[in-house]
Amino acid sequence: MNLAAPFLLFIGDVPDALAAKTAQGVVDWRPERCIGQNRLPGCGADLGIPDMSIADAVDAGAKTFVIGAVNAGGVLPPHWTSAILEALNAGMDVASGLHVKLESIPDILAAAEKNNCALHNLRHPKQSFETGKGTKRSGRRLLAVGTDCSVGKKYAALALERDMTAVGLKAEFCATGQTGILIADRGVALDAVVADFISGAAEWITPETDPNTWQVVEGQGSLFHPSFAGVTLGLLHGSQPDAFVVCHEPTRTTMRGVPTPLPSIQQVIDQTIAMGQLTNPEIRCVGICINTSALDESAAKKLLEDTGTAHDLPCIDPIRFGADRIVNELKRIYPEAA
């Protein structure tokens, strides 16, 4: 998927930073594509880039109006439509990571056709998929899994790919969500795939490749989340990872959006191995990635050290301190791929 850059990132009036994580992900990993942010009154998020009106963004060269907000159910709030129409009437393409298709809203479709603008639905793949087969294929795969949704699985995967490549490993990031697609220009939003075909779509994302190439796969949801475990399990079976890292946010006590208690890191390790062995009997955990952004440096380092010791695994914050310890673990366990 090749979206015309630069982007004007629209985050509407979302209540907090997590609700703007799609836009924030693009800012963090593809800043050269981002010209500014467009917000409505009452917005509780700030991407840290200039606020711009649609007219000013177009004058500055913006090509695509990216709806960078997320919400439960992926719905488009009716009061956001006017901003989308303004962008289309100003000549910008529109890209959305929401579940609702842009062209399903008559006014948006009419404005796109009138102005010869493209509508990109990042969550709706144009290709069809087969059901998963579970057949062993060449290449190495590393999957990010989580104790919950929105704990940093995408960031961990991107940081691992970056640091693996930096030391000469062959690695490529495989996107499984709308933000990852915006970053990688390729992938499938698995949460929009019909359930029977999720594992097959995951196989498509991680095709047979060079035996010594690592496909670093963005995780989705959590095996323990009552809302999203189905997508998580399909991704696990389809990607058939050789290795996985557990991602965790240490300040939570319940799963995001539901009252279900948060599982322990060890529960996630055990369940991932038990479920993952169906398609890869050799699956193993190679590290833990903790999002320590809510902690000061001293507390963060102590938590990482204590957690690593408790699980006898490298434990890192890949954004704050780098991913070299897990990269070194991969090189130790899989020397043929180093």
Report the C-alpha gap between 241 and 239 in whole angstroms. Answer: 6
* pLDDT of res. 280: 98
Report the C-alpha gap between 128 and 122 in whole angstroms. Answer: 15
* pLDDT of res. 338: 73
Measured in whole angstroms, the distance separating CA 19 from the mean position of its chain's CA atoms is 13
Query: What are the structural domains of the chain?
Result: 7-121 (3.40.50.720), 140-337 (3.40.50.300)
pTM across the whole model: 0.92
* pLDDT of res. 165: 97
Encode the chain (338 residues) as per-residue pLDDT tens digits.
789 999 999 999 999 998 999 999 999 999 999 999 999 999 999 999 999 999 999 999 999 999 999 887 788 999 999 999 999 999 999 999 999 999 999 999 999 999 999 999 999 988 899 999 999 999 999 999 999 999 999 999 999 999 999 999 999 999 999 999 999 999 999 999 999 999 999 999 999 999 999 999 999 999 999 999 999 999 999 999 999 999 999 999 999 989 999 999 999 999 999 999 999 999 999 999 999 999 999 999 999 999 999 999 999 999 999 999 999 999 999 998 77
Nearest to 317 by CA among 303, 333, 331: 303
Q: Which amino acid is at 94?
A: V
CA 224, 228, 230: angle at the middle one, nearest 5?
A: 90
DSSP three-state, residue 289: strand
Report CA-CA distances (Å) from 288 to 145, 219, 318.
Answer: 10, 14, 10
Contact between 132 and 238 (Cβ < 8 Å): yes
